[in-house]
A and B are shown apart, each in its own frame.
Chain A
Amino acid sequence: MKLRPAILGICISTCFWGCLPKPLPIEVDQVEPQIVVSSQVIPNQVMVITLSRSFSALEQGQDSDSLSEEFLNQLLVENATVTISYEGVTDTLFDLPDVPGVYASVSTPQYDHVAYTLSAYDPQTGSTVSSTEEMLPFVGFDSVAAVRGSSNGFDYIDVSYSFTDPPGSNWYMVNYYAEPEENIQFDPLSPDQNIANFTQLLNDKTFGTFEFSDTYRIYDWDSTNVYVSISNISENYYNYLALRSKSENFFTDLVKEPINYPTNIENGLGYFTTHHPDVRFIQLD
């Protein structure tokens, strides 16, 4: 670099960056920890509830990679009393051995159009959370197929499927998973490294007929095994997922107003869902 530009560069840098004002401190009250609920239903087998606690914005970093397993374990709510009530019956869920914060029931029957009420009591904080959700009818695939392809240097998989949309207003979640390669251990803290997953949300207002079929192209997937699932979900959960999906958009993330995600948990956070998915496995050539 010549001398004159170097001096000019130093001057400009001094003017514009050297005098950047010192940021001002500010105190903002933190939200009290709340119980966070998530749930999963495996059709005709098990209902699983996971309880954890929210934590301060100043406690850990802003991305999942910065959370240690030890810290995550601290968040899980142990020894809680968790029940699910339906049609006048109350089932108490049991702790999964060696998996703190996870509660399951294998005896709870799964009835369509029945309201299931979750209640969880945390003896440590004395707080109780609850939520009620109607179990929607099971909707499964009529057909599913997948084809691998490549275009202009991009690998993709076309997943074609069809299903029958029951009468009335319905909302669906179609999930696509790529099975991790055998030599990579599944690590839930770093999902992007070991498993690909996509979620497609469907609203039957956009369907032309009751027999809905679609082909979804997933770019940059090079897996040999693909899982595809469909779930008939509630409108509220559909809106919740749509909001989360929108916030993952890079541009939206840049310019959006912050979003407080909705919850159906009274006195807590998260989402209690009772949908039961139809999961299909496809092995590609």
Chain B
Amino acid sequence: MLLNIYGSGAVVSGYVKDAESGEALMFTTVYVTGSSVGTTTNQYGFYSLSVDSALIKNDSIHLSISYVGYQTVQRSVPAGRHVELNFDLKQATNELKELVVVASQSKLEEELKSTEMSMVRLPVKQIKSLPAIGGETDIVKVVQLLPGVAKGSEGGTGMFVRGGDADQNLVLLDESIVYNIGHLFGFFSVFNPDALKDLTMIKGAFPSNYGGRLSSILDIRMKEGHQNKFQGTGGIGLLSSRLTLEGPISKKASFLVSGRRTYIDQVFKLVELFVPYYFYDINAKVNYIVSQNDRIYYSMYYGNDVLKFDEGDVVEEEASDTSSGNDLGLDFGFTLGNLTNTIRWNHIYNAKMFSNISLISTNFNYNIRGQIFNNQLLIRSNIFDLGIKADYDYYYKADNHIKFGGMFTHHTFKPNIISTQGDITEFLESSEGEKLFTQEMAVYGQSDKEFTDKIKVNTGLRISGSVVEGKVYTGLEPRLASRYLIDKYNSVKLSYSRMKQYMHRVSSSTVALPTDLWYPVTRTIKPQSSSQIAAGYNHIFPKWQISCSLEAYYKWMNNLIEYREGANLILNNRFENELLQGSGDAYGLEFFVKKEEGNFTGWISYTLAWATRDFDDLNNGERFWAKYDRRHTVSTVATLKLSKRWTFSAVWVYSTGSRFTAQIGQYVMPNATYTGFDIIPIYTARNAVQMSPSHRLDLNISLRPKKDRKFTGEWNFGCYNFYNRATPYRIDIVPIENGLGYRYQQPGLFGFIPSIAYNFKF
């Protein structure tokens, strides 16, 4: 009878949202109760589930919907061929622990059953209570605590994922590429946590809808804005303050505006110290529900670093010195900023077909200006991207989710535009740089199919390409991810990914400067590529809501980019001649155990890794270690809810030192004119010295008010590097105290730094 009515079954589809704010909940599990048939919501909160007629009981479909941190919902809906059903999930409270445990277990089971591997999703809410430098929560620094992610220099936002380079990470904010993710020479990331909802870090087994970088994808999603009430959140810290306002515009629309500004300049001004630097960020988002099947989102990010130093500042600084400054005409500064805009259109064609089409623009530019006397120098560089991206989800069957789509981006590069005036033109002529237009495109398709209860395979292919200076590069990027479910607690996974990268950052490998440029491949500089295999074992402890994974990977990288020894990249329009291409290998083992729910949450990660490079023209053609080849890295992240009011968190990190090319000798040589001598240093082989291991403990304690009021505040007291141990970032040669000779030492950048911050919500 049922078979007659429902034929091959029914399809249930809709959105899952937060009941209070109306925010879409991505990757929520939707299951037919008592079965293994289920799905997860996509990045826009949409799900579609084909239910076989055998699972329709009493003309009803019984569904369980769960998401970590939310109460699990179980709902019976009358069966129909197509059922549209939206769910609003309520956030969990301590009184409903059992429902929360169910949600957590569902998520763990979903992770176990999924073909996804080498991937970590972190709700931003979860990382806000973690300790940070100066109390500034920084999502990039949290990502650095994940297995397989090596940090660069201390405090920096550099990420070296599975032996890759810092420019091999695709950082997306609401689908727009963010080229410069650091403020203050990379010490702070550009992401204001108050405006963000969720982040996904992918290090391998890349889904075919992602491409363009070799080593990782960091996909960050902004909040959509509260759809039901107006509210504000913010924070006041030692280094910056933040304010976010969000709320409904109408029944169908909501907005979010978030701003952050440092006041390093203003704080130092109080003590009559002059630090002419600050940065700020603005995030904004508007979404509009056009109809049940159509939604439109607009999101924007604008951030800027500003350094400004002029004659007035000199005069103010040295007011007592009447001879200084007055006639200099001094004016120096730089601005460095990103502007991203994304317009997205979600459309539901039918219960099985969902699409997202995005129009994306990204603008990254820096301006450096200097003036002294009548000499003026202005250096500008700019990247402007305009692109379109279409992604389709086709929920063919309950056991087969098909994705396909494509992207096209037009890049405009204007590097090193130099404008000079005055006598300086004798040394440095004005130049328009070499403007370059390139196009990058890709099409992809993938099928995530469950062949049996135990075997599921995600097969994908991405075909990418780039057109530059009349030359066309193309790349076939096959992707494969598979899972074998041993039992309900154990699974093994295997993946292969091939990636192509058509852009690179022209940068010194030692220091991140505002003058670092992104530049495309050219006729002679070929695209970078990588192949990675990974094998993993997953185990879950549902009772304790703990998941464990052990992954091994091997990555081959080709056409990697380095710079000739002594290359001068600054104001150099012909830096292509300074580039070298070579290969690299990276391999290692990662262990990750995490607990996301309960009073005690956190994770422990351990990475054992090797990364090497091979360039014909570097290190005498001999293979050498990558700079951030760190053999062992351990991160322990723990958050403990001591009571309703007190939350304690700690981060302990240990890592083998990064690599350094140390001076080990010297000799005297006459200069080319034979009029004097130079002392020529002798160095080890490139990156041959491993610096001392570093370890650090960061602590934070949060205090909430006794009762929830309309305006609630939270105090955060924390410290960075509790026991004040140096994290070496270089090796110096310094005189021995008694004056007899010299010795080596490894300075650290940040010691014990206490912090206090006040976060509020109204």
Contacts and interface: CB of A to CB of B under 8 A. Distances in A.
A168 B611 CA distance: 44
Interface of B: 267-268, 270-273, 423, 426, 508-511, 513, 563, 565-570, 661-684, 686, 689, 691-692, 721, 724-728, 731-733, 735, 741-748, 750-754
A158 to B, nearest CB: 12
A256 B666 contact: no
A272 to B, nearest CB: 12
B744 A255 contact: no
Given A57-B663, A59-B741, 9 more contacts: A21-B751, A21-B752, A24-B728, A26-B731, A61-B735, A75-B667, A197-B671, A246-B566, A249-B568
A54 B664 CA distance: 10
B682 A31 contact: yes
Q: Which 4 A-B pairs have the closest CB atoms?
A: A191-B676, A9-B271, A21-B726, A255-B508
A20 B746 CA distance: 12
23 contacts: A5-B272, A9-B272, A12-B267, A12-B268, A19-B724, A21-B727, A23-B748, A24-B728, A26-B689, A30-B665, A33-B665, A34-B667, A54-B682, A57-B664, A59-B666, A191-B675, A217-B426, A246-B567, A251-B568, A251-B570, A255-B513, A256-B567, A258-B681
Given A26-B691, A189-B677, A256-B508, A21 B566 contact: no
A103 B587 CA distance: 53
B747 A257 contact: no
B746 A24 contact: yes
A191 B682 contact: no
B751 to A, nearest CB: 4
Contact of B565 (A5, A67, A188, A257): A257
B676 A192 contact: yes
A242 to B, nearest CB: 8
Interface string A227-248: 0000000000000010110110
B676 A58 contact: no
A22 B664 CA distance: 23
B655 to A, nearest CB: 14
A89 interface: no
A184 interface: no
A177 B675 contact: yes
A36 interface: yes
B689 A23 contact: no
B602 to A, nearest CB: 25
A29 interface: yes
Given A31-B682, A152-B423, A54 B666 contact: yes
B651 to A, nearest CB: 17
Contact of B721 (A21, A55, A63, A188): A21
A35 to B, nearest CB: 9
B67 to A, nearest CB: 40
Nearest to B750: A21
A255 B743 contact: no
Most chain A beta-carbon neighbours within 10 Å: one of B426, B667, B726, B754: B667
B744 A28 contact: yes
B671 A256 contact: no
B664 A28 contact: yes
B695 to A, nearest CB: 11
Contacts of A197: 671, 673, 675-676
Contacts of A241: 672
A118 B651 CA distance: 61
B679 A67 contact: yes
A72 B570 CA distance: 36
Contacts of B672: 173, 175, 199, 241, 244
Contacts of B272: 1, 5, 9
A39 to B, nearest CB: 9
Contacts of A19: 724, 751-753
